[in-house]
């Protein structure tokens, strides 16, 4: 008997856009969650062995994989902010892992807090690009990361986290009110900005040879 051929319908442009942005967020989540050295990402077919390689790939995503309508200065700025936060979380996480730091060490709370900030940037970027389902997921993960950070962090990181958690308690899902969520996320991203300097100080303190040579 002759075999019937299956016809595969081409995906509409929006489906392609959603799939590619899902890959971008996947990379973002793995970047912020990088504690051990090797991480594989679902459909990407690639393996990450350092914090630098995925960060470079992620930075290029907005201009190479998204439609021109979304390659705006604001979108690119958020991509750079995500890269900066995610890479620092990865470097600090790897450093603490190499030192055998226990999970209840306050410095681990700083890693969780950086990961939370990365989720806030991811959610804000998704709202800008009209991917509200992804914004909802990132916001949900943001809450989880902040709670984890608050459980082990000490001052001044704990103070920033407490304030951020308080703000989130009044925030609805981005899909319910994108404009209000965008405003709240902008405030959270700015509020957690001091984490960057605090984390960098921890990294530099543990790498005297590197910082002395710069």
Q: Picking from 5-14, 70-79, 88-97, 128-137, which range would have the lowest pLDDT averaged per residue?
A: 5-14
Smallest CA-to-CA distance from 141 within 122, 160, 163 is with: 122
pLDDT tens profile 118-156: 999 999 999 999 999 999 999 999 999 999 999 998 888
Smallest CA-to-CA distance from 46 within 29, 27, 19 is with: 27
Tell me the whole-structure pTM to 2 decimals.
Answer: 0.67
Q: Which residues pair with 69 in a beta bridge?
A: none
- Tell me phi and psi for residue 7, to 5 degrees: -100, 125
Q: Looking at residue 2, what is its pLDDT? A: 52
DSSP string, 76-93: HHHHHHHHHHHHHHHHHH
Tell me the average pLDDT across 187-202: 94
Sequence length of the chain is 214
Q: Between 65 and 51, where is the model more confident?
A: 65
> Is pLDDT of 109 > 70?
yes
Average model confidence (pLDDT) across the chain: 74
d(CA 66, CA 214): 36
Q: Between 102 and 10, where is the model more confident?
A: 102
Q: Looking at residue 125, what is its pLDDT? A: 95
Q: What letter does residue 95 receive in the DSSP assignment?
A: H
Tell me the average pLDDT across 31-45: 33
Tell me the average pLDDT across 159-185: 93
């Amino acid at each position: 008997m002759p075999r019937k051929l299956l016809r595969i319908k081409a995906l509409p442009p929006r489906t392609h856009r959603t799939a590619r942005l899902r890959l971008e967020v996947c990379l973002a989540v793995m970047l912020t969650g990088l504690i051990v050295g090797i991480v594989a990402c679902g459909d990407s077919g690639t393996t990450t062995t350092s914090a630098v390689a995925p960060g470079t790939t992620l930075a290029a995503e907005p201009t190479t994989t998204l439609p021109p309508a979304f390659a705006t200065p604001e979108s690119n700025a958020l991509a750079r902010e995500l890269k900066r936060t995610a890479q620092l979380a990865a470097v600090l996480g790897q450093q603490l892992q190499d030192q055998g730091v226990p999970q209840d060490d306050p410095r681990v709370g700083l890693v969780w807090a950086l990961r939370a900030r990365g989720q806030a940037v991811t959610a804000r970027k998704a709202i800008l690009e009209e991917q509200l389902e992804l914004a909802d997921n990132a916001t949900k993960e943001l809450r989880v990361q902040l709670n984890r950070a608050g459980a082990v962090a000490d001052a001044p990181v704990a103070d920033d986290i407490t304030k951020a958690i308080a703000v989130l308690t009044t925030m609805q899902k981005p899909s319910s009110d994108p404009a209000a969520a965008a405003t709240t996320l902008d405030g959270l991203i700015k509020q957690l900005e001091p984490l960057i300097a605090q984390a960098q100080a921890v990294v530099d303190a543990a790498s005297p040879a590197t910082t002395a040579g710069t």
